[in-house]
Amino acid sequence: TELQSQKEILPTRVSDSEVLFGKADGSSAIINEKAFRIPVEVKKIKNGKPVRVSLPTKVAQADQGSDMVILTKGFLEKFRLPIKSLSSRGLNDLTMNVVDGTSARLTHYSQFEIGVLGVWRQVDAFVRPFSSRNSGEIHLLLGLPW
């Protein structure tokens, strides 16, 4: 089909950035396209210099059904991003509804810059509640707007 031929001609590429869990070799890396998976870069400071880090496609996901940006504790630790208390902004007893019908209490957030296909934004992301079982998971959910 025409759409398939366009994808073959114009694959999604990530270049000139560090890759999570390793270093890019300088060449462009073709990203496997999957539903709702998007190429994301995060700006962070490394050795006193700003760097862009490309996330593996399995880490970042867009969610049109959410209006929140949510990340995991493992994501914060991997990127050494700042974690802030919601109560410091006067937000106490904040909860989010979960797809299984339960509610989860939100207590922390982080602010950082992300880029998707060259569009950069500063985001406020809520830290997903965690336990010892899932604290090492590395995920970023981009609700709209991000």
| Tens-digit pLDDT profile for residues 73-94 | 999 998 889 999 999 999 988 8
Class of domain 2-143: mainly beta
Q: Taking the domains of the chain in order of start, what are their residue ranges?
A: 2-143
Give the helix/strand (H/E) hosting 131: none
Maximum average pLDDT range among 17-21, 26-30, 85-89, 142-146: 85-89
On the question of pLDDT at 21 being above 80, the answer is: no
Q: Assign residue 9 a region: left if phi > 0, alpha if psi is -120 to 50, beta otherwise?
A: alpha
The pLDDT value given to residue 146: 60
- pLDDT tens digits, one per residue of 27-40: 334 444 444 888 99
pTM attached to this predicted model: 0.69
Q: Cβ atoms within 10 A of the Cβ of 143, count?
A: 17
Amino acid residing at 41: E
> Please, how many CA atoms are within 13 Å of residue 109, restricted to the half-sphere of its CB?
19
